[in-house]
C-alpha cells in the first residue's frame, strides 16, 4: 500500500493547497464528516447536481484499494454500481486493478475532499504544510459497537467471531488500522497546527450548527448562518440515508455486503447515535474498555463524552 500511495504523494506534488483530507479511525463519523465538508465547499446552496452522487464518487476513500484482493475482481465494484460508473467517467482507459479509488482521488475536480483512515505516521510528514486535515474523533465505546457491526456486514472484513472476541481485539490493539489510541495520539500531538481541525462526533451530534460554524472558519467558506442551518439539516442522518440509497448505493446488490447480517442487524447506515454502547457492553466488557481508556488515553488531553 505504501508503494501505491507513493504515487499519490511523490514529493507532495499531487497534493494541493485546496485539498481537504477527512481523517478518522474507522467508524468515528467519517461518512458524515465527508458529506458535511463536501457540501460546505461544493454545494453550499444545496443546488449542485453532483450532490446526488454517491459520497465516495465525490469524496474518494484514498486507501480503499488495499481492502480488495487485487488478483480478483470478485470484490471489486460491479460495473453497474455508482463507483464503477464514476471510475469509467473520471478515469477512461485506465485499469481499475491499478487502484480504482486511488485513481479517482487523483481525477476528481477541485476542490478535492478526500477520506482516509490512515494515521499521520502513514502519510507524508509535510501533509499539514500543504493541505488541510479535519480529524473526527469519537468515544471508544461507541467506536467498538459501530466497528464491530461494520466488520460483520462487510465481506471485505468478514468478521464471524463473537462480540466478546472483537472487544478483546480492540483492547489488544489488534484490528485493521491498528490502535485507536495511537491514531488519536498522533492527531492530538498536532492539534495546534493551523491546518488541522479536530472535531468530536458527540459535539457534532449535540450542536451541529455550532460545529459547522467552527468548520466554516477553518475552511474559509464564508457561509451564512442560514446556509449552515440548511446544511446541518441536509447532512442529518435521516436525510443522508435517503440520499445514499437514491444515489445507487444498494447494499442488496453490492458484493461487498453480507445480506443476512444486514437483514438481522441493519446496514451501513445503522443508527448514527451516541451512547449505543450501553445496549451492548456487559458490565465486564465495559470495565475492560474503561481500563483500556485509562491506560492509553488519560494523558492525551481528551475528555470523552459517552452519551448525548
Active-site amino acid positions:
117
Determine how many CB atoms are found less than 10 A away from the CB of residue 3: 6
Neighbours of 226 (CB within 10 A): 8
Residues 6+ positions from 142 with CB-CB distance below 8 Å? 201, 274, 275, 276, 277, 306
C-alpha–C-alpha distance, residues 94 and 115, integer Å: 22
> Which of 116, 119, 100 is closest to 108 using CA atoms?
100
Single out the residue of 105, 125, 106, 142 nearest to residue 24, CA to CA: 142
The C-alpha atoms of residue 155 and residue 49 are separated, in whole angstroms, by 31
Residue pair 212/40 in contact (Cβ under 8 Å)? The answer is: yes
Amino acid at each position: 500500500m505504501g508503494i501505491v500511495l507513493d504515487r499519490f504523494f511523490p514529493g507532495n506534488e499531487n497534493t494541493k493547497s485546496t485539498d481537504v483530507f477527512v481523517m478518522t479511525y474507522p467508524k468515528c463519523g467519517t461518512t458524515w464528516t465527508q458529506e458535511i465538508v463536501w457540501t460546505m465547499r461544493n454545494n453550499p446552496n444545496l443546488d449542485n447536481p453532483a450532490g446526488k452522487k454517491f459520497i465516495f464518487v465525490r469524496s474518494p476513500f484514498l486507501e480503499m484499494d488495499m481492502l480488495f484482493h487485487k488478483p480478483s475482481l470478485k470484490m471489486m465494484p460491479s460495473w453497474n454500481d455508482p463507483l464503477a460508473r464514476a471510475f469509467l467517467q473520471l478515469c477512461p482507459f485506465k485499469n481499475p486493478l491499478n487502484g480504482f479509488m486511488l485513481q479517482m482521488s487523483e481525477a476528481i475536480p477541485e476542490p478535492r475532499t478526500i477520506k482516509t483512515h490512515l494515521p499521520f505516521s502513514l502519510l507524508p510528514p509535510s501533509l499539514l504544510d500543504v493541505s488541510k486535515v479535519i480529524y473526527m474523533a469519537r468515544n471508544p465505546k461507541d467506536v467498538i459497537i459501530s466497528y464491530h457491526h461494520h466488520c460483520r456486514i462487510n465481506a471485505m472484513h468478514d468478521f464471524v467471531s463473537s462480540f466478546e472476541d472483537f472487544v478483546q481485539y480492540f483492547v489488544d490493539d489488534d484490528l485493521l488500522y491498528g490502535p485507536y489510541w495511537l491514531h488519536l495520539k498522533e492527531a492530538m500531538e498536532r492539534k495546534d497546527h493551523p491546518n488541522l481541525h479536530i472535531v468530536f462526533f458527540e459535539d457534532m451530534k449535540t450542536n451541529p450548527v455550532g460545529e459547522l460554524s467552527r468548520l466554516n472558519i477553518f475552511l474559509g467558506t464564508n457561509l451564512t448562518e442560514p446556509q449552515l442551518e440548511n446544511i446541518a439539516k441536509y447532512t442529518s442522518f435521516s436525510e443522508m440515508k435517503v440520499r445514499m440509497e437514491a444515489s445507487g448505493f444498494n447494499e442488496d446488490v453490492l458484493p461487498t455486503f453480507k445480506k443476512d447480517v444486514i437483514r438481522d442487524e441493519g446496514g451501513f447506515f445503522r443508527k448514527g447515535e451516541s451512547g449505543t454502547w450501553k445496549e451492548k457492553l456487559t458490565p465486564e466488557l465495559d470495565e475492560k474498555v474503561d481500563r483500556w481508556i485509562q491506560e492509553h488515553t488519560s494523558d492525551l488531553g481528551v475528555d470523552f463524552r459517552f452519551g448525548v
